[in-house]
Amino acid sequence: MPYPLTAGKSRIEALSDGVFAIAMTLLVLKLEVPEVMHHSSNAEMLRQLLALGPALVTYVVTFLIAGGFWFLHHLTFHFIRNVSGVLIWVNLVFLMLVALLPFSAGLMSHLLVHPVSQLFYFGNQFAIALMLNVHWHYARRKNLLAKDGERLEMSHLSWRIGVVTAAFAAAIVAAIVDPPFSALAFLICFVAGVVLEHFRCQKV
């Protein structure tokens, strides 16, 4: 490792927080303000807002999924002390996939039940989850972590990142087999993971 990058952790964190904050906030630009007139009735106006339903659902779900990825990424950096050049490039690819979310969400909100848009949307999320695995396991293997004392919590985090990845993999399979089932498959896997996680935590 030719460069001493101990000071670098705070800046890759800052760049990550920036990209996450922007990608999450740009999602709102996919919600187009309906062009109604002043004299349009309340019923007409409500109908217009309800037509935005799928886009609003996509906004809420994508924002929270992205927030979840931010949380997991943040947890990994709780344990990481040293940053190497390779880790920074892994993070840049990770962030490139995060910054793609407004596009995937736009595809999803226009074409909510279309198999191809579902495939792209869940594919993007799966790729993010995959890079998070690469990032975390690379840091573990290369001894970039801070403390040896929290072995249990670290394997805990590995497991948590794994659950999210599996849930998105299931969503992709479902999108190919039976598109409308796609979101449901994701939900089932995710909730199952969270519940199992919860019991595991209490044992700890």
Choose the stretch contacting a second copy; rule: CB under 8 A; options: 14-22, 125-133, 136-144, 164-172: 14-22
Question: Interface residues for a second copy in 144-173 (CB under 8 A)?
Answer: 150, 153, 156-157
The answer to whether 3 contacts a second copy (rule: CB under 8 A) is yes
DSSP code for 180: G
C-beta of 170: minimal distance to a second copy in Å? 21
* Closest listed residue to residue 156, CA positions, set 74, 72, 88: 72
Question: Interface residues for a second copy in 101-120 (CB under 8 A)?
Answer: 102-103, 106-107, 110-111, 113-117, 120
- 6 within 8 A of 84, measured Cβ to Cβ: no
Question: Interface residues for a second copy in 172-191 (CB under 8 A)?
Answer: none
Question: Interface residues for a second copy in 25-44 (CB under 8 A)?
Answer: 25-31, 33-36, 38, 40, 42
Based on CB atoms, which residue is closest to a second copy, 75 or 130? 75
Please identify which residue in 87, 95, 164, 185 interacts with a second copy, judged by CB under 8 A: 95
